Structures are given as C-alpha cells and as structure tokens.
Amino acid sequence: MNPSEDALKRLKIADGHLRGVIRMMEEDAYCIDVIRQIQAVQAALNKASTVILENHLNSCVITAIRGEDPAERERVLREITDVFDTATKT
Amino acid sequence: MNPSEDALKRLKIADGHLRGVIRMMEEDAYCIDVIRQIQAVQAALNKASTVILENHLNSCVITAIRGEDPAERERVLREITDVFDTATKT
Amino acid sequence: MNPSEDALKRLKIADGHLRGVIRMMEEDAYCIDVIRQIQAVQAALNKASTVILENHLNSCVITAIRGEDPAERERVLREITDVFDTATKT
Amino acid sequence: MNPSEDALKRLKIADGHLRGVIRMMEEDAYCIDVIRQIQAVQAALNKASTVILENHLNSCVITAIRGEDPAERERVLREITDVFDTATKT
C-alpha cells in the first residue's frame, strides 16, 4: 500500500468512526462517551495528516527544493510551516 | 435548537466535510490542501465536543454533584478531568 | 502532597526544563532537538493544567453547584467549558 | 532580528510568563486564571516552535535535500514528520 492509499484508508476508517459517533448522538448516548469517541476520531485524523505530510515531503518538497524556482521553493516551505503552526493549535 | 441538536448538526456538517476530504484524496488533490481541510474538520469536531461538554455540565454534572452518592460524584468529576487531559493531547 | 503543591512542583519542573531549552538555543543546538524539548515542556504544562482543573472541580465547582446562586453556578460551569475549548486549540 | 534571535526572545518571554504563573500558584490565585495563563504560555511556545521550524526548513533542510547523502535526506525529512506528529498530539 503506497502512502496515498494508506492515508485514504485511514480517512475512510475515521469517517466510518465519525458516522458511528453521529448514531451515538442520535440514540442519546452518554455525553462523555461521545466526547471520547470524537477524540478518537481526531487522533485518527492526526495520523492521516502525518502520513499525507510524510508523502508530501518525499515528493513535492524534494522536487521544489531541488528545482530552480526560488519562489516555488519558498512557497512549499512556507506551506509546511503553516500546517505545522495550525497543528499546534488544533 | 437545544444543545444536543446543535452538537448533532455540527457532527453531521463535520462528516460531510470529511467525506469531501476523502473525495479530494481520491482525486489526487494537492497534499497541503488535504491537510488543511483535515485541520478544518478537526476544528469543527473540537467545537462539537465543547458543545457536548457544556450540555453535560449543565445536566448530568449538576445532578451528580447535588446527589447523595459520593462515588457517582467522584466518577463524574473524574470523567471531566479525563476528557480535558485527552483534549490537551489531541 | 496536596494537589496545589503537586501542580506547583510540576510548573517549577517545567520552568527548569524551559530554561534548559533557552540555553540550548543560546548554544545553537540543533533546531529539531529544541522543538522536541519545547514539546516536552508543553506536555508537562498540560499535565499541570489537568492537576489544577481536577483540584478546581473538587473544590470550587462542588461549592458553586451546591450553592444557592444560579449566576455563580453558571459562571463556574462556563469557565470549565471555556478552558476545555481553549485546550482543544492549543 | 534573525529567526534564531526571534525564537530565543519568544522563549525568554514565555519563561517570564511561566514564572509569573508559578507566583500566581504560590499566592493561591483562582485555579481557572492559572489554567488560562498556562494556556497562554503554551500558545507562546507554539509560536516559538513554528519560528524555529521555519528557520530549520530554510537552512538544514534545504542543505540536506540538495546534498548527495540519501540517508541524511531521509533523516531530515523523517524528523519533520515526527515533530509534526507530536505537534498534533500536544
């Protein structure tokens, strides 16, 4: 399984999990149990993001840094800083 | 809209968003755009959790704290500490 | 050791750790090592926050919920929701 | 001010803030106020980490990716994935 397939599979599992959480809410499950399941979905989404970033670093980022376009290189590095910054806040 | 309906609506919107992210992956969208959308889904899930916790505090927690069962009270407060502890880690 | 002393001790250890990180920066340590140490300080601060919240729930929150002042009760519960909301974002 | 000086300054400000939080605890400040100040310190540490990562991307990472050593390149990219993964958890 390549990294994209791995990430896609993780996202689909997270989505199945999230739909389960929605059913819990519809069936008036205990609030704390719902929150815990939401936190589990988020941990799964974190892992999917990490897999996608790893793939990105090993493809687009290497290409951009080795390329001859300084603006493109700067853009690609700036994006990584941005998603890292957001990751520290979510 | 009561808090449970609000939370349920938020979870459904987050799920629609997540299914959009899955389509992006299937269509080979740019990695960074996918990560940003995952982060947006997570922000929506955070907000849903907060609404659920608020509802829980104003119902079960008040009942338990005013009740006569010390073990139940302790359990309910411990649960809040636990979900807070997990929230600081995800 | 009561919860306040526990929290205080944790904060002091985190501060000693953070001053170590500052020395690392002053001595031009490797960036990734510095980031990892900052993340360790943050994990310690998370734990201190959890201890403080637990203590708060078992004292002020119980008093407020059992008290006769609805505005005070509402305020105390709202504060917990607020710090939880912020915790999911940092 | 270069990025290292910027990061160092941010860490020192965060440390001054954290020492203020310790004094609050020693003076028995209200729990929720202490937690909020800890969260502010963490936001400052997040920002310092982002500045350090940005600097790292624009120096070591570019050098490694343009270099001739595949193991070194892989190591440097792996480190970024690792700190991102941890960032999503703290």
Q: Where are the domains of chain C?
A: 3-88
pLDDT digits (tens, 9 = 90+) for D38-56: 999 999 999 999 999 999 9
Which of B18, B31, B39 is facing A86, going by the closest CB pair? Answer: B39
Distances from the Cα of C1 to the Cα of B49, C4, C6, C55, D18, angstroms: 33, 8, 6, 13, 22
Q: Find the closest chain C residue to A84 by CA distance.
A: C35
pLDDT digits (tens, 9 = 90+) for C26-71: 999 999 999 999 999 999 999 999 999 999 999 999 999 999 999 9
Helices (H), D1-90: 3-26, 31-56, 62-66, 70-87
Chain A positions in Cβ-Cβ contact with residue D53 (cut-off 8 Å): 80-81, 84
Neighbouring subunits of C (3+ Cβ pairs under 8 A): A, B, D
The C-alpha R_g of chain D, in whole angstroms, comes to: 17
Which pLDDT value is given to residue B36? 98
Does any CB of chain B come closer than 8 Å to the CB of residue A33?
A: no
pLDDT digits (tens, 9 = 90+) for D11-40: 999 999 999 999 999 999 999 999 999 999
Chain B positions in Cβ-Cβ contact with residue D88 (cut-off 8 Å): 90
pLDDT at A89 over 90: no
**A:48-77 residues touching chain D, CB 8 A cutoff:** 49-50, 53-54, 57-58, 61-62, 65-66, 73, 77
CB pairs under 8 A between A and B: 108
Which pLDDT value is given to residue A9? 98
Which pLDDT value is given to residue D50? 97
CA distance A61 to A80: 9
pLDDT digits (tens, 9 = 90+) for B26-41: 999 999 999 999 999 9
Q: Do A8 and B26 touch (CB under 8 A)?
A: yes
Confidence class of residue C22 from pLDDT cuts 50, 70 and 90?
very high
Which pLDDT value is given to residue D89? 85
pLDDT digits (tens, 9 = 90+) for B39-84: 999 999 999 999 999 999 999 999 999 999 999 999 999 999 999 9
Which pLDDT value is given to residue C61? 95
Neighbouring subunits of A (3+ Cβ pairs under 8 A): B, C, D
CATH number of A3-88: 1.20.58.1000
Which pLDDT value is given to residue B89? 85
Chain C positions in Cβ-Cβ contact with residue D24 (cut-off 8 Å): none
Chain D positions in Cβ-Cβ contact with residue C83 (cut-off 8 Å): 32, 35-36, 39
CB pairs under 8 A between A and C: 5
Residues near D53 by beta carbon (within 8 Å), at least 6 away in sequence: A80, A81, A84, C31, C35, D80, D83
pLDDT at B90 over 80: no
Residue A81: φ, ψ to 5°: -60, -40
CA distance B67 to B86: 27
Q: Which residue has the tokens 């050098």?
A: D63
